[in-house]
Amino acid sequence: MSAPHLPKVAGIDPEVPVSTHTAAPLREIPAAPGAFIQDRLAGWVSDLTTLHELTERLAATATLDAALNELLHAGAALVGARRGLLVLERAGSTTPSTTLGLGLGPADLGHLETVERSATALGRILDGPPEAADARDGIATPDLLGDQDLDPRHREVATRLGYAASYALPLASEAAGRLGGAVWFYDEPGEPSEKQRHLVGLYARYATEHLARLTELERARADIATVADELLPSRLPRIPGVRLAARHRTGPQGGGDWYDALPLPDHALGLAVGSVGGSGPSAMAAMGRLRASLRAYAVMEGEDPVAVLSDLELLLRLTEPARTATALFAYCEPAARKVVLAGAGHTPPLVLGDRRCEYVETTLSAPLGMLACWEAPSVEFSPAPGETVLLYTDGLLRRTGDAMDRAFARLHSAAASVPKAGRHDPAAVTDHVLRAMLPDGLDRSDSTEDVVVLAAHFD
């Protein structure tokens, strides 16, 4: 008699033998990891979170000064210090060194500079060979005043400033080399723990790469600004009956906004502002060519601004057909207080005086290079004695961030609010208008717009 078959349930064949390698069922819940391991894991997560937050804040800085300040504060937080000092001096660079203090005033920095560099941990890091162990791992001085070999002047300064210990760290990486060093000061004897040294070392290496990028960026911006300055007038002419002032700012990538003021025959004066489309070296080069061409046309036929701009438009269309530009040229006779101007897609001048503040009504015209043949009628007006004619580029309006109609209204209000005591000084007029239009300053680094303002005050 055969053995009875066990019933099959849900597709499982009970006759299939159970593997002898199958683990026995759990009869109790395994014990939780030890508290020590949990604490260490929690500590690692906390350290990584802190490091991530600090590096994110550093990466958000767009200028070298902001990055250096952030580095000093973050380093102080990582090593548990309250004050610090940072020196940035790239080896082989002609750029002057930068010194920045945290919790140290100018007088404190002056006292620190009286200590011989070789007597300080930071100085040994800065002047020592890059491959030295101290230059890689940093130098901890846990008890400065207890060090019998401490330089007497260093001891005197430490006592005066009230710090008893320090930790110095190089700002170096394999890619960027050594850019400088930082030192943090403790009010009491002590030194950072091994974990703190590890974290601040990781942060410093990341910060070094970021500082190297910002240093190269600022050097490139400085080179661009220098080229732009060379393309613009080195000085403004002196013409009887009129006084001039100009302010300009070139964007970080280099732009095409320009201005000019040149003496013309018969004691006349030519004033011009303009903007070439695009940015970068190409736009700057085109701006230089356009300005030089306009100067030549102005000398030959400056009394007819329409002819000057017509010739300029023809030259642009023949030599650079893919480029557009705006321009405004004014022929001034200061003795007769007469101004004749023509504009090609450019913003209208503004006249400011004791009795009026208004835009000059100009005819609507397309920019140069937009039409097959450019020509627009000129406009003539007579500034009263003591009035100032303000020429500018649209970068001034765009920098405000407002819509163009609101920006024009804002410029009008800025000019109208010039104090009466300063209305007879063209430099004071331009500075007041810029302060009113751009409260954050003309040199704000995060703006890509060029700005040009040219003021002519008629006596």
What is the mean predicted confidence (pLDDT) over 239-259? Answer: 87
pLDDT confidence bin for 285, thresholds 50/70/90: confident
What is the mean predicted confidence (pLDDT) over 103-112? Answer: 94
What is the mean predicted confidence (pLDDT) over 252-278? Answer: 89
pLDDT confidence bin for 8, thresholds 50/70/90: very low
Residue 114 has pLDDT above 50, yes or no: yes
* Tokens, residue 171: 């700002």
Q: Rounded CA gap, 30 and 435, in Å? A: 71
pLDDT of residue 428: 96
pLDDT of residue 283: 83
Percent of the chain as helix, strand, coil, to the nearest 5? 40, 25, 40
How far is residue 413 from each of residues 320, 419, 433, 449, measured CA to CA in Å? 38, 12, 9, 21
pLDDT of residue 151: 94
The β-bridge partners of 83 are: 185
pLDDT confidence bin for 249, thresholds 50/70/90: confident
The β-bridge partners of 165 are: 186
pLDDT confidence bin for 268, thresholds 50/70/90: very high
pLDDT confidence bin for 18, thresholds 50/70/90: very low
Report which of 339, 321, 319, 320 is spatially closest to residue 331, judged by C-alpha positions: 339
Report which of 125, 122, 124, 269 is spatially closest to residue 184, judged by C-alpha positions: 122
**Which residues, other chains included, contact 142 with Cβ-Cβ below 8 Å and sequence gap of 6+?**
165, 189, 190, 191
Tell me if residue 17 falls in helix, strand or coil.
coil
Q: Rounded CA gap, 161 and 111, in Å? A: 9
The chain-wide mean pLDDT, for the chain, equals: 85
Q: What is the DSSP letter of 12?
A: B
Q: Rounded CA gap, 418 and 284, in Å? A: 32
Q: Is 217 exposed, middle or buried (0-12, 13-18, 19+ CB in 10 A)?
A: middle
Does an H or E element contain 459, and which?
A: none
> pLDDT tens for residues 218-234?
887 777 777 777 778 88
> pLDDT tens for residues 403-449?
999 999 999 999 999 999 899 999 999 999 999 998 877 666 556 78
pLDDT confidence bin for 3, thresholds 50/70/90: very low
pLDDT confidence bin for 297, thresholds 50/70/90: very high
* Tokens, residue 376: 């627009």
Q: Rounded CA gap, 182 and 84, in Å? A: 7
What is the mean predicted confidence (pLDDT) over 23-38? Answer: 59
pLDDT of residue 32: 55
pLDDT of residue 132: 62
Tell me if residue 75 falls in helix, strand or coil.
helix
Does an H or E element contain 301, and which?
A: helix 281-301
Domain 48-223 has CATH 3.30.450.40: yes
Q: Rounded CA gap, 132 and 181, in Å? A: 14
pLDDT of residue 443: 66
pLDDT of residue 44: 76
Cβ(312)–Cβ(330) below 8 Å: no
Dihedral in degrees, nearest 10, Cα atoms 124, 128, 133, 138: 40
What is the mean predicted confidence (pLDDT) over 10-32? Answer: 48
What is the mean predicted confidence (pLDDT) over 231-246? Answer: 91
Tell me if residue 255 falls in helix, strand or coil.
strand
pLDDT of residue 92: 55
> pLDDT tens for residues 46-83?
888 889 999 999 999 988 899 999 999 999 999 999 99
pLDDT of residue 370: 78
The β-bridge partners of 141 are: 166
- The domain spans of the chain are 48-223, 232-458
Among 293-307, 370-384, 407-421, which stretch is predicted with the lowest mean pLDDT?
A: 370-384
How far is residue 162 from each of residues 158, 232, 280, measured CA to CA in Å? 6, 52, 51
pLDDT of residue 19: 42
Of residues 180 and 218, more confidence is placed in 180
* Tokens 């020590």 belong to residue: 36
Of residues 399 and 3, more confidence is placed in 399
Residue 372 has pLDDT above 70, yes or no: no
pLDDT confidence bin for 279, thresholds 50/70/90: confident
What is the mean predicted confidence (pLDDT) over 310-327? Answer: 88
Residue 94 has pLDDT above 60, yes or no: no
pTM: 0.65
Q: Rounded CA gap, 319 and 285, in Å? A: 13
What is the mean predicted confidence (pLDDT) over 364-382? Answer: 79
Tell me if residue 98 falls in helix, strand or coil.
strand
Integer-rounded Cα radius of gyration of the chain: 35
- Which amino acid is it at 242? V
- Beta-carbon-side half-sphere exposure of residue 351 (alpha carbons within 13 Å): 20
The CATH code for residues 232-458 is 3.60.40.10
Of residues 210 and 366, more confidence is placed in 210
Report which of 411, 402, 407, 408 is spatially closest to residue 430, judged by C-alpha positions: 411
Residue 152 has pLDDT above 50, yes or no: yes
pLDDT of residue 261: 96
Percent of the chain with pLDDT over 70: 85
What is the mean predicted confidence (pLDDT) over 196-225? Answer: 88
- Asked whether the domain spanning 232-458 has the same topology as the one spanning 48-223, the reply is no
